[in-house]
Amino acid sequence: MRTMNLVITSAILGLSVYRPCAGAAQAVPSSDEAFSQSLQSFRAQQPAEYPVIIRHAQVKFSKERVIQQAMPSVVQIVTPAGPGGGMGSGFIMLPSGIVATNAHVVENVQAGGSVAVVTPDGESRQGILLAKGTPMKKDIAFIQLPPVKRGWKALPLQPSANIVLGTEVMAMGYPLGLPFSVSRGIVSGLDRKNDYVTLLQTDAAVNPGNSGGPLMTLNGTVVAMDTEILSRSGGSEGMALGIIAEDIIQAWKQYLKIKNLDAPWLGVSINPKLTVLQMYPGSPAKKAGLELDDIITGIGAAPVDSVEEFLHRLHAFMPGETVTFSILRGKTRREIPVVLESEQAVEPQTTAAAETDRLPV
């Protein structure tokens, strides 16, 4: 579970999967090339498949019934010991065995690598990591379980647009390496955006090891995936954040289309006024004809007037998509289509003379 340690002068965001103390046993998967090859073949034969989305769920069930129904689909994720290794949670979102979890849970595993997936009955299966985003950014990953005869029991998702403050929710997963556990609370905050995803806030108790587990309503749907805790001490203090169902669905659509969860890259540096201050050689922006001192006023037909809004809208697209940017060049307004590419690591820069922050995007 990622932990945001709150101090008086600053907020420090750190990754924190539950890591057993030395000597604790871990169900680490062995390398199995034959299994990997058969699973790759299985995936190649599958039609495009989307999770069940329930947009207007009116019926509420008892907590006991929701837990009983959801429990078989909530799994523990165990990765090899070492830097980034540990235990987290996940949930099955497709009958073909697709597990959603956080990218930071599988931080030390590369796409195509093996991951141990433990079901509530204690049985460990070897899954394959299909793709993962970047922790602290698009903190989402997908794992493929081996097929079973009648299909896996999957959980439906519900868009957060139908959720209001006070909605009762339950966090399910494997906190601190314990067996399957449940905590309950309410949705205590909406629309907590970062530059890449939108999050729901809850006061349900969430701890390291809950990362990737589902946040569920009493209608039996997943509205978010537990991802971060806001804490002074590193433990649960009644403030947790989960990535909303819409972003999980969008990430899955991206995987189906381009087989990765890369963030899109424009290839410029901008200031808080959205003025282009720097163009990177060979970048999508340069290829499309953007110029220095252009002011970005819109993206994908939606106006933007802040860096935060621009970044959130930019990251709703995927690499390879053509997106139209509205810009102001001098006194002339222009519409420039840009083919986005996968994000590249570019360090922020500062112009000493003007003390102008340059944010690479």
Q: What is the pLDDT of residues 275-325, one digit of tens each?
A: 999 999 889 999 999 999 999 999 988 899 889 889 989 988 999 999 999
pTM of the model: 0.83
Residues 314, 315, 317, 321, CA torsion sign: positive
For the cut 50, the answer to whether the pLDDT of residue 360 exceeds it is: yes
For the cut 60, the answer to whether the pLDDT of residue 329 exceeds it is: yes
Residue 98 in tokens: 């697709």
Q: Are 186 and 80 in contact (CB under 8 A)?
A: no
Percent of the chain beyond pLDDT 90? 53
For the cut 50, the answer to whether the pLDDT of residue 24 exceeds it is: no
- Dist CA 271 CA 348 (whole Å): 11
How big is the CA angle at 225 (ends 64 and 142), to the nearest 5 degrees? Answer: 115
Q: What is the pLDDT of residues 38-84, one digit of tens each?
A: 444 444 444 448 788 887 767 788 899 999 999 999 999 998 765 55
For the chain, domains (ranges, CATH) are 2-258 (2.40.10.120), 264-360 (2.30.42.10)
